[in-house]
Every structure is written in C-alpha cells, then in structure tokens.
Chains A and B, each alone.
Chain A
Amino acid sequence: MPVNLNEIRELFFEESFDNLDRMESNLLDLENGNVDDELINSIFRGAHSIKGGAGIFDFEHIISFSHIMETLLDDLRHGERIITQSLIDLLLRSVDALRMMVSALKGNSDYDVQEVQVCQDDLQEILKAPLEKAPVIQAASSPTEITTPHPNEEEPSHTEEDFLPSVVDKGWHIVFKPDLSMLKTGNDPINLFDELACLGKLTVKVDTSQVPAFPDLDVQACYLSWELTLYADVERALIDDVFEWVEDECQLDITPLIPPTQPLGETVSSLQNGKEAVPAVDKNDKSVPPLEKNDESALEKGEISSVKTEPPPKHTVLTHNVTHHATEANSIRVSIDKIDDLINMVGELVITQSMLEQIGNNFNSSQTEQLRDGLSQLERNSRELQESVMRIRMLPISFSFNRFPRLVHNLSLQLNKKVELKLSGEHTELDKTVLEKMSDPLVHLVRNALDHGIETPAMRQAVGKSETGTLHLHAFHQGGNIIIQISDDGAGFDLKKIRAKAIGQGLLNQDDHPSKEQLYDFIFHPGFTTVAQVSDLSGRGVGMDVVRRNIRALGGTIEIQSKPGQGSTFRIRLPLTLAILDGQLVRVGKEIYILSLLSIIESLRVKPKLVNSYTGLAEVYRLRDEYIPILRLYDLFGITPNTTQLAQGILVIVEGENQKMGLFVDELLSQQQIVIKSLENNYKKIPGISAATILGDGSVALILDVAELIQLFHAKTKTQASHSTTFMDSLL
C-alpha cells in the first residue's frame, strides 16, 4: 500500500467508527419503534460508506461483509423486507462484527473470524429467505421502554392498521432526446436527472450512438439521448415540471411503468385467509405510497385476529463485548458555528492590535486613556479567544451516553430485569479528553447499577415498587464543573452489609463508628464487594477503585448518595476542561504553589486558642462545630517557611474526597487562571502535585492535588503512630 494512503486510512477508521456508532444508535431507535425511512436510509448510508471506504484499501473482508449488510438494508429501504426484532438484533450483531474488524485493522490485530463468519452466514440466510416469508414486526413499543416485549404480547388491535403490503413497483419510463442545440440554451441534462432522482429511485441509460466521429464533433452540441426509469409513485405533472424548461428543445416520451405485479385484492384476500404471515410496516413508514394508503381501510377490514404471528424472536444474548474500543482518535470534528465564532474573534483581535499599534506609533501622554482602553479590549479579546478555542475541544456528552441504550438493553435481557433508561442533559458539553476517559467509568457504574442496584421484577413487586426499574443518567453544569449523575431506584446500599464486610476484611475495627460517607468510601476500596456471588458482570470488587482512580486523574470527584430501598445515586463532578483552572496562588517560604479554587472552602487567620493538639502527633483546628486537622505544608514538603507560628500564617481550608483539611501556608497571593502544563511529559507524577504551570514571570509553579495531599498526610501520620490515623478519621 502506498505510504500516502496512511493518512486517509486513519480517516477511514475514524469515519467508520462514527458510521458504526450512528448505525447502532439508529438501529436502537428502530427498535424503540420509531420506524422511519430516514433512519433506515441513514443506516444504509453508514454501511455504504464503510464499504466504499474499505474499497479504497482493498479490505476484502470488510467489503464483502458490509456488502451483504448493504443488500439487506437496501431491501429494507425499499420496503421489500420487513423490520423485525430478530433482524434488528442481527444487524446490531453485524455492526459489532464490523466494528471488530475495523478495530482489528486499525490496531493490526486479529479478530474473531468465526464470529464474523457466523454473523455473515446469518445475514446471507436471511437474504436467501424468500421475501414473503418476512416475519411480522411487532408494533411500536413505547419509546421509553428499553426492553422490547415479544410480539405476541402486543394487543392484536395494536397492529391492526399497521399491515400493509410492502412490494411496490411503480413509476415512469422516460425517453429523453434533447435537440443538438439544447446545451447552448444553458440547460444541462444532469440537473434534470438530479431533480428526477429527488422524486424516487432513478436509473439512467445513455444512448451514445449519435455521437459523430471526432473531427466532426461540435463541442457545443448535444449528441446524447437518454432512457430513464423512475421508480416513484408520482403524478405525471411532477415529471412534466422537471422537463418544463426543455420541452421545446427535445423529444420527450413519458410512459407509466407496468403496474404492480401483485394486485391489491390478492393481498387483502391473503390477509383474510390468514394462512400466510403478512409483512407489515409501521404506518408512519413514508415509503408506503399514497395509493396503498388509500386502500388501508380495505385492509383494516381484514381478519386481523387470524394473522399468524411469528414465534417471538429469540433474543440472542449478546455476551461479546459491546464496549466501544477506546478509540482515542487524535482528530476532532468541530461544528462550523464554533469555527465562525473563532474567526470573528480573531478578526476583533486584529482590529485591537492595529489600534494599539497606531497608538504606539506616536505615543504621547495624552493618549494614556486610549491605551488603557485598548489594553482592556485586548484582554477581553484574548479571553474570548481562549474561551472559544476551549469550546472547540468540547463535545456533547451524548457521544458517551448514546451507547447506554444498547448496553442497558443487553444487560437487562441477560439479567432478566426490566429497566427503563432515562437520559437527560445529553447536550452538556465537556472536554473531549475528559469525555473519552470517562467512558469506561460510566459503563462500569451503569453495569453496577443494573447488576446490584435494580432488583428483579419479582423482588421489586414484593416491596411494592413497579416492576420496571429506572436508571437515570443526567448531566449538567454546576459552577465551573460538569456533574454526571447515575441514579437508580433500586435497593440502595446496605450500610450494615458494608460495615460487616469492612470489618471482615480488616478495614474497620469492631468498635469503630464511621460516618455514612466513610462507609460508602469502602466501596471504592480495591477488592471490596458486598455481593455474595460473583457474576460475569460484577461483584469481583475490582472496578470501583479503578473508577475512582480515573475520575481523580481527571481532577474530578465521585460521591455516593443512597437510601436503602429507594435507590442510590453516584454523582461525578468533573472539571470543564483539563487545560485551564482557576487557581489560588499560595506561598510557603520561597516556593509558590497553586490550589484549585474549587477545592478551597475558605481561608482564615488562625486563632491560637482554637488549635488543639492530639497525642502530640497532630493538630486540629476548631472551625465552628467541626474539628479540622492542620497540615503544615512546609513540613510535608520539607521546605523552610517564613514562619512556623500558626498565628502568623494563613490556614486554607480545603476539601478533597469528602474530607476537610487545613493547609497551613505563609501567605495567600493572587487568584488567576492557570494553564495546566504536564509534569509527566518530561518527568513523572509526583505525589501531592497534580501538574505544573508557568507564571507571569516565566517561572514554574506546582499545582497541588488536595486529595493526594490528604493521603500523604495520613500516610505520614500513620508512620508516626499507627493508631492515630483511624482516630483522626473518626473525627472528620
């Protein structure tokens, strides 16, 4: 393969994943009963683009696979085949298989050939099956319901009006012979054909027999004529309209196509006989031509009750992974609005710059005011520019949420639970990197909620709840943060169980009385699980610690709220972006450190009489009705401070991981926006430090990680006296 194809190759992979994602979500929409031409078309286009893209690179297996998919989808598109649950399942499986193949190609790895083959065989089998055997679809289930019920659970009357024959072959045959001079009048046949193609499916045959030998060729003459077939149920007037402008410049012959092979009467009678399963499409299906719709009333009279329904499609339980591969693509698609904003902003910046240049060219003291204005304008411009550049990296969280309907659908089948998934706030935007890194933790939390949170229908009924559990994913902005909430109305956490388990694992002493928050904290402990039985889904006690670690790595926090019997809520708080934070500069000795403003609760001067000492190892500060441990930063970092007297410095009360701590520093400096620079690029992670930044004077300052500082502090106190830590904990 030529080297210059590599770049296109990347593009192909990226587009394919996009297409696959779209196909998947469209299929799920179909499943929810929103049968719509546009959806089917969109799925078809997805398969088609993948096939086309794969063609460039000779990815034979992808071409052949997507070709079969495309054929099937094409049948669906033309209403020649009927959408059924099993078909959707098969298509979803095919999407997975394609995704597997594409990612294998991308990562130069192997994929499960057998699985793809099975899927391909299934597809082919369906294609081979005669059309009229297409099984009956169940009617639209309520859109909010994720678990699709079996067709025979449907009320018969529900499907009554949905039965329509699907095979349509109607249209026009057009012979179009333009005069030689037609092109000279500015008419281009291609435009006419385009217009016709808008009306329906168009096939074009060109007749080149009139083209003269090259020396005799008049480049401005039109020697071609066309034979067109338009498959669409449209009035002749519409076609005449298309040719209106060229009428007198051509020979036009429009004849209707042979009417449908299967007369309507037969369809109705077959319905009445009820011997055959009759294909059905949703009433909303716009592909159904009006002619058939007129006859709907006739159809409705058919004996619907006698229609044989297909046995409920067996749900193939999809055990293979649905999780998307973390395709950490290195490019991003940006909406044109954002780019336009950016261009406007740059325009303003250029204006400001030229204004300042003008002032600077012959500056005298009378212009000070002007200069000041100019500078403040420059400041505003650069801030806006910064914001809009940041926005480019923002993606709506729906990118992540969209996979959950599928996941919940599969899991609920696997677990035999009824779950309704609610998504809200999908348009909340957050940084692309954050979004990508949050995907896996979210999947984990959703799995957990389904597996442990929501009870089985029987159990739910026993406690007087509705059979169907609700899982709600909600995202919204709060302050400078994004909050993602995952709530279920399941059993909630059993604090007693957690406590017992914690004691059992030696994490807690028998006579400790930790707070609710601290008990919840054990859930994030590696290897901690309250589930008696390990399932393939969860219960091994790995995962929650990884979830928290990932969230922490993004500078976020996770909290649990739970009421026994009423459900639990995981609340993830994430920074809007990873690149910039609002920071508070603090000084200890000669060093300047930065604290994220979000972690600071308040700063205060220490009143010595409120400082108490514990067993000589630690100090606590009484702040209103709380005792807060004091962390002397100079001590932890081993630097020389200006003062070791608490009364002479500042105590910054910070919070991390549900714990408060008083950081003792020499002085508070300014607050400013901090551009985060990685320390790990050239060095490595340092405990207690999250990153670095460059200050206005060009020097480097370190950004403190409050949660880690607290851990460091605990570790330090622990080494000084092993029992004091738990004692301290119980005070927090």
Chain B
Amino acid sequence: MNSDTTQTADKYLTFFLTKEEYAVDILRVQEIKGWSQVTTIPNTPKYICGVINLRGTIVPIIDLRLRFNLPCQEYGAMTVVIVVKVLSQDAKERIMGIVVDAVSDVYDVAENEIKPPPNFGSVINTEFVRGLATVDEKMVIVLDLDRLLNSAELAIVESLSQ
C-alpha cells in the first residue's frame, strides 16, 4: 500500500461486515457494483464465490464474511461488491471483487493515526490487518488487501514452473 511518509492524510473507503467497520485504501478501489450472478469454480474454498464477467475480463469474487469466518448472508440486490486492485509478490496487478455488507463512508486517515492491532495470541489472526484507526470516535479496521487477497488459496501458483 502507498504508505505516504508525509503527514497528509490518505483517503480510505470503509465498509461494513456485520457490525464491524473495515477500511481499504481508496486508491485501490476500481469500482463498486451490485451483485451479479457468479459462475462457481469447482473444488475451491467456500469464500471464493466464483468468477464474473467484468466487461470482458474474468474477475474472481471473494466473500469477506466467509473469509473471516463470519456467519454468511444471502446474496441479493442489496449485496455490494467492491472491485479492487491487488498487487501480488511479483508486482503483478490483479483485479478482484470483494463481497461486503454495505459501503459506509470515505475518511481521511493519516499514516500515523493507524495503530498496530493488539495481539490476541493465536486466537485471532491479525495477519491481514494493517492496523486500527479511530475516526469520529469509532474504530475502523484498516485491511492489508495485498496480504488478504494473496493468501492461502488465492496465492498465485506458477502454472508453468520450469
């Protein structure tokens, strides 16, 4: 993520999953769209909903609720998909969609306002969390998209390693 060293605040888009508010760097957001029918991919974990056709490109859709082991919710007209750009280790840009409950707001958060997440031991995995920030007396969880969407099943496996 573009961690700006200056004190100017970066803009973050926040969204809800259950009652928790999460934030992602707004520069990573390509578009926000409604739910459309996905094509499921066989033998993949549940949180990978499938793929959609986004103007000619095939884009995978990831359900963040299921990714975080939250109770799942029916998909419908109100379901929101945030299409984001993800950088993988080899700096390849990929487009992915994440399913969230609702988009909330856009906040300015300065880099030094993002506090490291408290340590929960091994009970809660904080690997994908860049930190916690306080906005309007509320806590938002700043996500590390690259970590989140390159982890485990989503990691790029070289298909033709020689």
Contacts and interface: CB of A to CB of B under 8 A. Distances in A.
Interface of A: 546, 549-550, 553, 591, 636-639, 677-689, 692, 694, 698-702
B39 to A, nearest CB: 4
A684 B150 CA distance: 11
Contacts of B37: 699
Contacts of B51: 679, 683, 692, 700
B160 A639 contact: no
Contacts of A701: 39
B42 A686 contact: yes
A601 to B, nearest CB: 23
B122 interface: no
A685 B153 CA distance: 11
B40 A683 contact: no
10 contacts: A546-B162, A553-B159, A681-B57, A682-B94, A684-B157, A688-B42, A692-B39, A692-B58, A698-B53, A699-B37
B135 interface: no
B58 A638 contact: no
Contacts of A638: 42-43
Contacts of B44: 686
A688 B41 CA distance: 10
Contacts of A685: 157, 159
Nearest to A633: B42
B151 to A, nearest CB: 13
Contact of B56 (A553, A688, A694, A699): A694
Contact of B39 (A591, A637, A684): A591
Interface string B38-72: 11111110000011110011111000000000000
Contacts of B87: none
B55 to A, nearest CB: 10
B56 to A, nearest CB: 7
A640 to B, nearest CB: 11
Interface residues of B, number: 27
B154 interface: yes
A638 B94 CA distance: 27
B41 A686 contact: yes
B95 interface: yes
A677 B57 contact: yes
Contact of A700 (B39, B43, B95, B154): B39
Given A681-B58, A682-B57, A698-B53, 17 more contacts: A546-B162, A638-B42, A638-B43, A639-B42, A677-B56, A677-B58, A680-B159, A681-B94, A682-B58, A682-B60, A682-B94, A683-B60, A684-B156, A686-B44, A694-B53, A700-B51, A701-B39
Nearest to B37: A699
A700 B42 contact: no
A702 B39 contact: yes
A437 to B, nearest CB: 9
Nearest to B59: A682
Contact of A702 (B41, B57, B156): B41
A637 B154 contact: no
A586 B7 CA distance: 57
Contacts of A550: 160
Contacts of B39: 591, 692, 699-702
A689 B41 contact: yes
A44 B35 CA distance: 63
B140 interface: no
Contacts of B159: 553, 680, 684-685
B145 interface: no
Query: Which are the 8 A-B pairs with shortest beta-carbon distances?
Result: A637-B42, A700-B39, A685-B159, A683-B60, A682-B94, A692-B58, A694-B53, A682-B95
> Of A679, A684, A685, A702, which is in contact with the most chain B CB atoms at under 10 Å from its CB?
A684
B26 to A, nearest CB: 20
Nearest to A677: B58
B143 interface: no
Interface of B: 37-44, 50-53, 56-60, 94-96, 154-157, 159-160, 162
A700 B57 contact: no
Contacts of B94: 681-683
B53 A591 contact: no
B143 to A, nearest CB: 19
A637 to B, nearest CB: 3
A684 B154 contact: yes
Nearest to A546: B162
A553 B57 contact: no
Contacts of A702: 39, 41-42
Contacts of B154: 683-684
Nearest to B39: A700
A630 B94 CA distance: 37
A291 to B, nearest CB: 60
Contact of B53 (A678, A688, A689, A699): A699
A679 B42 CA distance: 13
Among B53, B57, B58, chain A packs the most CB atoms within 10 A around the CB of: B58
B130 to A, nearest CB: 23
Identify the interface centre among B40, B52, B59, B156: most chain A CB within 10 Å of its CB.
B40
Most A C-beta atoms less than 10 A away, residue of B51, B59, B60, B95: B51
Nearest to B160: A553
B75 to A, nearest CB: 15
A702 B50 CA distance: 11
Contacts of B56: 677, 694
A549 B159 CA distance: 10
Contact of B58 (A546, A678, A687, A698): A678
A588 B30 CA distance: 34
Q: Which of B42, B58, B60 has the most CB of A within 10 A?
A: B42
Contacts of A636: 42
Contacts of B155: 684
Contacts of B96: 682-683
A698 B38 CA distance: 11
Contacts of A698: 53
A258 B132 CA distance: 93
A684 B37 CA distance: 20
Given A678-B58, A682-B58, A700 B53 contact: yes
A549 B44 CA distance: 23
B58 A700 contact: yes
Contacts of B42: 636-639, 686, 688-689, 702
Contacts of B58: 677-679, 681-683, 692, 694, 700
Contacts of B50: 700
Contacts of A679: 51, 58
Nearest to B157: A684
Contacts of B52: 700
A687 B60 contact: no
Contacts of B95: 682
Q: Kindly name the residue among B43, B95, B155 whose own CB sees the greatest number of chain A CB atoms within 10 A.
A: B43
A447 to B, nearest CB: 16
Contacts of A684: 154-157, 159
A678 B159 CA distance: 12
A666 to B, nearest CB: 15
A419 to B, nearest CB: 27
Nearest to A704: B42
A686 B58 CA distance: 14
A522 to B, nearest CB: 21
A683 B156 CA distance: 7
A687 B43 CA distance: 9
Nearest to B86: A682
Contacts of A553: 159-160
